[in-house]
Amino acid sequence: MALGTRLDMSTAYHPQTDGQSEITIQTLEDMLRTGLIDFKNGWDRHLSPIEFSYSNSYLTSIKAAPFEALYGRKCQSPVCWAAVGDVQLTGLKIIHETTEKII
């Protein structure tokens, strides 16, 4: 039992036996579906920002974002990367597209 969590095993074929797994899978499906709609032909280039978004979203089950629970600190957003000139990580175009969608 790490970080006050409990591990419940379930099979890959029956995620409905574990409500938390079912919620996580549904959330990821929704995020990927939205990415497909928003980015159409270039959706595969946007998997990293989708993963980033999930990893930095607050989860009530752990009372923190997964990134924060793992590393013990909040992560800087891609919008902050543009401000400090660290655009090589994802590319300037993706940062501007993401910023426009947020604003």
Q: Quick one: average pLDDT of 74-86?
A: 62
pTM of the model: 0.54
The C-alpha atoms of residue 85 and residue 68 are separated, in whole angstroms, by 23
Q: Inform me whether the pLDDT recorded for 90 exceeds 70.
A: no
Is the Cβ–Cβ distance between 77 and 56 less than 8 Å?
yes
Give the three-class secondary structure for 64.
Answer: strand
Q: Which helix (H) or strand (E) element contains residue 43?
A: none
User: Which pLDDT tens digit goes with each residue over 34-72?
Assistant: 877 777 777 777 788 788 888 888 888 888 988 899 888
The C-alpha atoms of residue 87 and residue 81 are separated, in whole angstroms, by 6
Is the Cβ–Cβ distance between 75 and 56 less than 8 Å?
yes
